[in-house]
Structure 1
């Protein structure tokens, strides 16, 4: 795994809502940072089941296939840069089925392909939900995000009117 984005759903595992991030401290090294944040009173009881447990964070990512199973489909992936939505992507290596790999176009870096699933599928899902519910346009908040930028492109391509709400005047561009 050479690249894996931080999606909002990853943050839910990484940073519990009961954590006081304004008082967080960072220790460790740049290679292995340790972030510590205080919890609200009584919050630990609700999170007791996850204490000491390694959490499989990282919904998607990308990297170069360095080993493969015996099937022709798996062997064809050796040396290729692929995107994966297999969970637990915050890892050095990840084993997934060959059919779960999205072969990225030649010359595409892992960083460029690491977000090939969550945001694009969310944008397409928003359009499909709009249509199924009988609507003809969308309003999107946080429109300057990567998801917002993808939604702009998808709506333009499909001729769907889109109202974008952004936080800053410079984000209008």
Structure 2
């Protein structure tokens, strides 16, 4: 019996520690929980909009979350990391955002990237070889037209949209 007491206690301690390391999150929309980080994987359960989840891991555009008794992978864009629900920002958040000064020397422009954390952005470095490799894939207009023709695509002239019409008055009093 004593042989199993120490391993059992260690296992319980590891489980408690793992739960403490999990980050809280809130589900932004009804979504499925998958058994693997893939939309073609078996559905393990579902998470309702507004449900609180524990974020256990991240892989690409997927998060491994625990929601109640169900654990599975959910799309990254379906979860807002951090405590608090969908109810919006609290007064403290609004005041903090309005009164916090930003450091102009720490400007980071990220457009449409979700899934990169601060550490990955800090480790980003310029790679001239990759940029040259990317430039090597550029094609001319003639090459693009040739490829489109080989694929059976044809150019089509599309007429422009009509100009906007003046808004009609919704009330006879607006014209006075």
Fold shared, TM-score > 0.5 on shorter chain: no
The TM-score, its normalising length taken from structure 2, stands at 0.24
- RCO higher in structure (CA 8 A, sep ≥6): 1
Greater share of strand: 2
